[in-house]
Structure formats: structure tokens, C-alpha cells
Amino acid sequence: MVSKNSQGNAAPEQPVLANGERHYKVSANDLPLSCPMPDMPVWNSHPRIYLPIEEDGGKALCSYCGAHFELVPESAAKRV
């Protein structure tokens, strides 16, 4: 995904920040699910924990930061 800055030029893609959002839609490609997720920088985050989203009906809550994760089909997965 390429975002545009205020002048309409392509802006560099920003990394997904650890604990930057409160709700994440994830797909089967993101399993096993951890918070923070592997592509998130962890230098300023809580310890990585694994969440049993498949066993919990497709939803999981991180006990450290309160982030909500929802298991969705690949086409609907969204990473901010």
C-alpha cells in the first residue's frame, strides 16, 4: 500500500507500530498470533505473548495492552 502526502506525492510506507491500534483484523497467514506481532518493532512494547485466537472463537484480547484481534478471511485482513 502506498500512501500519499499532502502534496499528492507517494509517501514512504510507515511500519506498523507495536500497540499503536486497539483493533486488528488478522488472517490465517498471521498465525500463530502474538502481541506484538512479528512485524511490529518491540523495543517500546510489552513482552511478546501468544494468543489462542483459533480456540477462542476467532477473537482474542491482549492482557498487556488491551488490543483486540479478530480472525477474518485473508481478503478482509487489515493492517494499519
Residue 44 falls inside a structural domain: yes
Count of the separate structural domains present in the chain: 1
Residue with cell 488472517: 27
Per residue in 17-70, pLDDT (tens digit) is 556 678 999 999 999 999 998 888 777 789 999 999 998 899 999 999 999 999
Residue 43 is predicted with a pLDDT of 74
51 contact partners, CB below 8 Å, separation of at least 6:
33, 34, 35, 60, 61, 62, 69
Domain residues for the domain of 39 are 12-60
Residue 20 falls inside a structural domain: yes
Residue 74 falls inside a structural domain: no
Cα–Cα distance between 28 and 43 in angstroms, integer? Answer: 26
Residue 3 is predicted with a pLDDT of 43
Residue 6 falls inside a structural domain: no
Closest Cα partner for 66 from 42, 46, 39, 38? 46
Residue 31 falls inside a structural domain: yes
Residue 32 falls inside a structural domain: yes
Residue 2 falls inside a structural domain: no
Residue 71 falls inside a structural domain: no
Cα–Cα distance between 80 and 72 in angstroms, integer? Answer: 15
- The dihedrals phi and psi of 27, each to the nearest 5 degrees, come to -115, 180
